[in-house]
Copies of this chain bind each other. A is one copy, B any other.
Amino acid sequence: MAPVPAQATEITIGELSERSGVPASALRFYERKGLIRSRRTAGNQRRYRREVLRQVAFIRASHHLGIPLSVIGDALAKLPEGQAPTREFWARASECWSAELNARIKRLENMRDRFTECIGCGCLSFEQCGLVNPGDQLGGKRSGPYRLFDA
């Protein structure tokens, strides 16, 4: 039979994968990116503390919200060494994430409204239309804006 440590306090990557539903490849990837950590056995295999299960849950939940792994990593880095996220931690992170979500929703609503306006005016000017050129990336040296439609 295969090695299945019965009551160990540490878990293998296979067990973590099975319990979390996250493929082992993704777990290794998270580890490479510094999101989770493991101890190594004498034979160089990973052993995870049980807290990591909660960390992975946090990673997945945050990721499903569209938070980039790098940002999730920054948040997790603030945890004390190898600790599971406490309720306080979760609450603090949740504020950031909620703010993020709200900002994203607002941005989309803005764009939708601007878009609707643009349909009305039919401009799509490279210089003046915030939709075409949101960051004002154009220097603004050219003659005049022009219209999208001949009509």
**Residues in chain A within 8 A of chain B (CB atoms):** 19-21, 53-54, 57-58, 60-61, 64-65, 84-87, 90-91, 94, 97-98, 101-102, 104-105, 108-109, 111-112, 115-116, 118-119, 122, 124-126, 129, 131-134, 137-138, 142, 146, 148-151
Question: Does A126 contact B65, Cβ atoms closer than 8 Å?
Answer: no
- With contacts A105-B112, A108-B101 taken as known, whether A21 is within 8 angstroms of B137 at the C-beta atoms is yes
Residues of chain B within 8 A (CB-CB) of A108 are: 101, 104-105, 108
A97: shortest Cβ distance to chain B, in Å? 7
Pick from B84, B97, B149: contact of A90, CB below 8 A.
B149
Question: Does A21 contact B148, Cβ atoms closer than 8 Å?
Answer: no
A101 vs B101: C-alpha distance in the bound complex, in angstroms?
15
- With contacts A91-B119, A97-B115, A150-B84 taken as known, whether A124 is within 8 angstroms of B57 at the C-beta atoms is yes
Question: Does B94 contact A126, Cβ atoms closer than 8 Å?
Answer: no
